[in-house]
Amino acid sequence: MKNTGLKEKHTQRPKLHRPLFALADCNNFYASCERVFNPKLRDRPVVILSSNDGCIVARSNEAKALGIPMGIPVFKIRHEIARHRIAVCSSNYTLYADMSNRIMKTLRLFTPHIEIYSIDEAFLRLDSLTERDLRRYASKMRDTVMRWTGVPVSIGIAPTKTLAKLAGLLAKRDPLGVYSAAESLMHANTSGPETSSSFLNEIKKIPVSKIWGIGRRLAVTLNMQGIYTVYDYMHADPKWIRRKLTITGWRTFMELHGTSCLSLQELTLPRQSIISSQSFGEPIDSFIPLKEALALYTARAARKLREQHSTASLMQIYITTKPFGSAPRYANSAIGTIDPPSSYTPALISRASTLLESIYRSGFRYKKAGIFLTGIHPEGMQMRLFDRYDVRERQIMQAVDVLNRKWGRGIVRSAAEGTLQRWHMKQSSVSSRFTTSWDELLHIVL
């Protein structure tokens, strides 16, 4: 922000730092989505399983309080599940993605300057607000998201993104779900970080590993230097940080001191590669179902390509058996060009099938397949003089995408994807696609 250098003698309150970032973070997002449509799950421990019902990927506060660790295979905690009546849900990404879209759309009404950081987190710029309005505005955002979607969010506010992340952690503990570090850091730049404030007291208790961008491994190195908390990091020797932690660590250091180095990434650049892969619910031991599974993943990757208005010119596919165990093992991959570059699902599926034929070996039980697209170009770009960009193909795919968006994913699909799809991932207790499929709307019996 531009500093005019003018001293404002008449203002009642000291000015807040600019810029001002807010981090809006959904509380236990997956569990909260499940609870919106199934009130029986409220006030009860809830865990969500990975896409193959294998491990725990998300937990409600109650499940966290019981000490259920993240990532643990579900069979290892069968006893706890029974003893504490823990609700176990398969992951329902269709529902979570749609709920996420609704939440982000709601947040966007409060400011056009928004960076969607992950499925359940967004950074927002709130520069124009005064100190007095800040909390009120954040509370209003929170209430609106709650009323319109049913998902609770916490909002942390601070002059940098790194500090906003920390404020977000503190907001989780706040009964109103809002924490502003903007006010407490008001004087930080003028009288130095020694300024006593509730925020600075709080960060003496937060472990250094919780700082955005500092992973567990780096935290170990820092601990060996006697740096245990966020506060310690802020007071570490700047020269040491610069030398040992390079520019990234230095940027974090500056951000913790209230100097914004990371800006809002409002534009999402097209991805330069697209991956679609999955483990099968049941191993596949013959060619046809393997080809069908690969066709489905290819169709998904092609849809992602079209969403960002791109085409791909290079494809890699791979297949693999279980990497361990006593059964015979085999894994292989094949690369091929896509000529001309395309996002046309049938063309990509036929290319993937040819590649699969070249590496498929019978006599194995395959566990996983995937596709990787790269050599990404903008749609409609003519690569060579005689390349023809097929308008008809594009119109067909547009129609398919519209229908699938409207009536549910997969309503129109390639015959190559098969109809039985026995290899589909295991999801024994998946909730309905309440918000994206007419057939699965919530029924209320009076």
Binding site for Mg ion (CB under 5 A): 25-26, 29, 120
Q: Which residue, 25 or 255, is less far from Mg ion as judged by CB?
A: 25
Choose between 61 and 111: whose C-beta lies nearer to Mg ion: 61
Please identify, using beta-carbon distances, which residue of 95 and 299 lies nearer to Mg ion.
95
Q: What's the number of CA atoms in the CB half-sphere (13 Å) around residue 73?
A: 2
- In whole angstroms, the minimum distance from the beta carbon of 144 to Mg ion comes to 18
Least Å from the CB of residue 372 to Mg ion: 29
As measured in angstroms, the least distance from the Cβ of 28 to Mg ion is 7
- Contact status, residue 238 vs residue 189, Cβ threshold 8 Å: no
> Smaller CB distance to Mg ion: residue 29 or 364?
29
Instruction: Please tell me the total number of residues recorded for the chain in this structure.
Output: 446
Q: Name the residue among 282, 277, 286, 425 with its Cα closest to residue 364.
A: 286
Give catalytic status of residue 121 as yes or no: yes
CA triple 147-122-145, angle to 5 deg: 5
Q: What strands, in cross-sheet order, belong to the sheet with 331-342?
A: 274-284, 366-378, 310-321, 331-342
- Give whichever of 65 and 442 is closer to Mg ion, judged by the CB atom: 65
- The minimum distance between CB 302 and Mg ion, in angstroms, equals 30
Q: Provide the minimum distance between the beta carbon of 23 and Mg ion in the complex, in angstroms, as a whole number.
A: 10
CB 122 within 8 A of CB 164: no
Relative orientation angle of helices 93-108 and 131-149, to the nearest 10 degrees: 140
Please say which residue, 171 or 294, places its beta carbon nearer to Mg ion. 171
Pick the closer one to Mg ion by CB: 211 or 299.
211
State in angstroms the smallest separation of the CB of 123 from Mg ion: 13
Residue of 115, 121, 183, 202 marked catalytic: 121
Q: How far is the CB of 165 from Mg ion (least distance, A)?
A: 11
Please list the active-site residues: 121
